[in-house]
Amino acid sequence: MPADNALLAAGAGVAFCGPAAYLLGPWLMRRIPEPSLEEGETKVPYADLAGPRAAAWCGLLAAVSGGLLGWMLGTTPVLAAWLLLAVVGAILGYIDARTRYLPSAIIWPSYLVIGLALLGAAVVSGEWGSFRRAVLAGAIGFAVFYVLWFVFPRGVGFGDVRLSGLLGTALGWLGWAEFVTGLYGGFFLGAVVGIILIATRVMTRKQMVPFGPYMLIGALAGVALATPLERLYTG
């Protein structure tokens, strides 16, 4: 069900997120440092991705995400934070899909940007309880994924741990149902797809599924589906 002023917010989401990711994606890819690789590991250099194809994909993914978020959230103070996350998420998702790496040089500054946007939303709306829940949810998400990485490092990369805190913070503002549905739904979606790829021999057990795109899809699903699922569960 669309939110208040959904059409206006959706249009704003498309108009802001698409061009922003189109321009920012390649610019960042040319400048972020390469990670330290273990012996025998290889990856596509970030700078080699920074072309028209990357710009188009980042712009398209961000525009679609921004439009959906505007339609679902409407012209609420928290929309700005989610639109910024849509831009960052489109760039990170593209990079992870192509390289299986989530660069910390993008994720860590995004904590500050999204955090300040949420703080601004709290100042404007007076929803300080939502802000406190966002901070707590981000910490919980990071901690749980850290444990998963510690126990099963071949299945969860540390980039996924960093991303989980960022997504958990944004989802936590909306509510605990959105947090659980969005964060862990994306993780299990990635796990299921990974199992299918291994079972069909598209990938081997030694290859690592890039979870970042699935986590980002899960976050969108959390915004869209958490309330209907909660109502279904509670009868």
- Residue 230 is predicted with a pLDDT of 63
**What contacts 5, CB < 8 A, 6 or more positions away?**
74, 75
- Residue 225 is predicted with a pLDDT of 85
Q: pTM for this structure? A: 0.92
Q: Nearest-CA neighbor of 98 among 57, 40, 152?
A: 57
Q: If the chain, 235 residues long, is cut into consecutive pieces of 10 residues, what is the mean pLDDT of each piece?
A: 83 98 97 85 90 97 97 95 98 94 96 98 96 97 93 83 96 94 84 75 63 92 80 64
Q: Nearest-CA neighbor of 186 among 207, 208, 156, 158?
A: 156
Domain ranges (residues) in the chain:
6-234
How many residues appear in the chain? 235
- Residue 233 is predicted with a pLDDT of 62
**3-state SS assignment for residue 60:** helix
Determine the Cα–Cα distance for residues 69 and 161; give it in Å rounded to an integer: 24
